[in-house]
Structure 1
Amino acid sequence: MGKILVTGATGFTGTALCRRLINDGHEVVAFIRPTSKTGALTELGVICKTVDICDAEAVLDNFTDISKVYHIAAAYRTEHSTTETFIKVNVEATRNLLEAAKQNSIERFIHCSTVGVQGEIDDPPADEEYRMKPGDHYQESKKDGELLARKYFAEEGVTGTVFRPVGIYGPGDTRFLKLFRSIARGVFVMIGSGSVLYHMTYIDDLVEGIVLCGTHPNAPGEVFTLGGENYTTLKELVGEVARVLGKQPPILRIPYLPVFWASIICDKVCKLAHISPPIYPRRVEFFSLDRAFSIEKARRLLGYAPKVSLHEGLSRTADWYRENNLI
């Protein structure tokens, strides 16, 4: 067997996936940027190659002896990033990798999309067939990248699978640190009713699902949503975080609409001033949009079965934050 290529290997999900693949006995190659910190990957035994995935020729030149690709890399949301940046990384770089995979007749290509391609969920929980309705430039570019991958799988002879992760968290990730920190300090304020739905996925369960996408005979040609066992209301999630931190659940609440309109004004003013806004619509919308999904297709076709409960996952995450003096 050839080497397994992982893009986005220095990120939270990519590093966890590399660790799993190495532990399973595979030889793993990572395409990294010149500025990437590779200490953790090198320690695992990952072969790190400086390759710009936006450069089609560089990708093809470095595709030697690759049998499988896990394409995790993406340009993620940063406020005021250009549409061109999202397209360059999330669409064109994906095309470069797919084309190299095609020319080298690799065993399987596993593409990481996002549930964000479906936008706000009007009738939760959403399954894989639920309509696509991206809500911003990032989600739009991820939709285009996913559709491109599916086109290569259907028409260009590349064997592959798409997965859409939901609300990734766990030790080592800091995406939810602000939530934990504000609850730990007793300053969390709920914007709106807290009745919207939110879905979390513990990193170990996600990696298990990704590996199933790359190995299970039922996976090729399919799209899978990979999420945790259950979803909750935002109020329930906040209450669970408070419990694992040994705090009383927050009770302060403010109306949604005034905060949302203030975020729009703040965002526009900061754009004119060329500074990053302290509050912006996308962050406020976290409190108003339903994010709940069905994982039944992955259960049925792949045998996907999340093992880490929300309470256990949040406890492990809180312990890691404490051990690293983050809360």
Structure 2
Amino acid sequence: MSSTTATENTISPGQRVLVTGATGYTGSTLVQKLLNQNVEVVAIARPSSDLSRWQDAPIRWIQGDVFDPKLIQEAMEGVNYIFHMVTPFREAKSSDDVYYNVHVKSTQLLANEALKQPDFKRFVHISTIGVHGHIENPPADETYRTSPGDLYQSTKLEGEIWIKQFGAETGLPITIIRPAGIIGPGEKRLLKIYKMVCSGLVPAIGNGGNLLHLIHVDDLTNCFLLASQHPNAVNEIFICGNQDSISFKEMVNLISKYYQKKATLLQLPSAPLFLLGDILEFVCKPLNIEPPIYRRRLAFYTKDRSFNVNKLKSKLGFVPQHSNEQCITELAQWYLEEGWTNIS
């Protein structure tokens, strides 16, 4: 829950809602909330997606490429709301055109089809705080300069810019949300860090002082729903994150305290690692092999991500309800229950 009321987070029963990226971690959380609100859910999924967990759910699945014009035309029929969060698997071996097609072309197709729907209400476009790059004088806000650091982030930004301009020119009601680092039970991207804490040795680039900004998946999806309903959200960009950032070292200390495991930071120099990452990406990508080290992964340990999130509070009345400590320790417990970390 957030400081907003349940009514403000609720889409009227019977409305038709399209979700892209519905099988992902955040997407599946949102879909479940939409089902609980008795709306009609249409979801686009890759042909390879495992839909078994949804086999008894009243979802209309459309499988194929989100940048296929015919598929989008079919999916958009009678839609009232769009939550557009699909993204390619973030792998260094992914071809360049995949990012453009998923982040930009699909956005263009969806927006143009939305204009044709007689009762269309809101296009919620999900981007990333990564479009800002490293924050030189934290915290930053939505007006801070953009400086994407890789193709994933640059095409996310391109999609943002296009949909913002399209909305201004056509009157299509859009809202852009840039989520911070998403965390919560079910999220597996941080598992390696938790495992390293259990081992007692955690590699870090520098002293571990780089800032991370987090948001619990429950808070984030509540924010999505609110943005789809609130009149103050139209044609706006919002950064959705916790009230404060946290350093990597502080995160490690919280995990260490929860697991009652003493963990030592192994400080590594950045320049040789980034050079090695560049070399491995150059060698591995043509071979369609995921490199063990690459720039985007190293950026997690070096770039500052710290934001002022007051715009969400002042315009929409939204305040996340999960603190950084709650986010980190809840995930620690979930990993433990799943048997993925061991503190014996």
TM-score normalised by length of structure 1:
0.94
SS of residue paired to 1:100: helix
Deviations 1:171-230 (A, max 9, x none): 111111111111122231222111111111111111111111111111111000001121
- The residue number in structure 2 matching 1:139 is 153
Q: Which amino acid aligns with 2:181?
A: G
Deviations 1:9-63 (A, max 9, x none): 0000000011112222322111122211112334443332224321112211232
Q: Which runs of 5+ in 2 are unaligned?
A: 1-13
Pairing 1:226–2:240 present: yes
Q: CA deviation at 1:158?
A: 1.0
- The residue number in structure 1 matching 2:77 is 64
Measure, in 1, the Cα distance between the counterparts of 2:16 and 2:93.
37
SS of residue paired to 1:66: coil
Q: CA deviation at 1:264?
A: 2.7
SS of residue paired to 1:290: coil
Pairing 1:37–2:22 present: no
- The residue number in structure 1 matching 2:311 is 297
Q: Which amino acid aligns with 1:88?
A: N
Larger RCO: 1 or 2 (CA < 8 Å, sep 6+): 2
Between the aligned residues of both structures, percent identity stands at 35
- The residue number in structure 1 matching 2:123 is 109
SS of residue paired to 1:65: coil
Superposition map of 1:175-186 within 5 A: 175-186=189-200
TM-score normalised by length of structure 2:
0.90
Aligned residues: 327
Superposition map of 1:145-164 within 5 A: 145-164=159-178
More moved, 285-294 vs 57-66: 57-66
Measure, in 1, the Cα distance between the counterparts of 2:272 and 2:86.
36
Deviations 1:54-90 (A, max 9, x none): 1112211232221111111122421132221111111
Contact 1:113 1:164 in 2 (8 A): yes
- The residue number in structure 2 matching 1:288 is 302
Q: Which runs of 5+ in 1 are unaligned?
A: none
Measure, in 2, the Cα distance between the counterparts of 1:5 and 1:301.
25
Measure, in 2, the Cα distance between the counterparts of 1:4 and 1:24.
11
Q: CA deviation at 1:3?
A: 0.9
CA RMSD of aligned residues (A): 1.7
Pairing 1:82–2:95 present: yes
Pairing 1:215–2:229 present: yes
Pairing 1:241–2:241 present: no
Q: CA deviation at 1:257?
A: 2.6
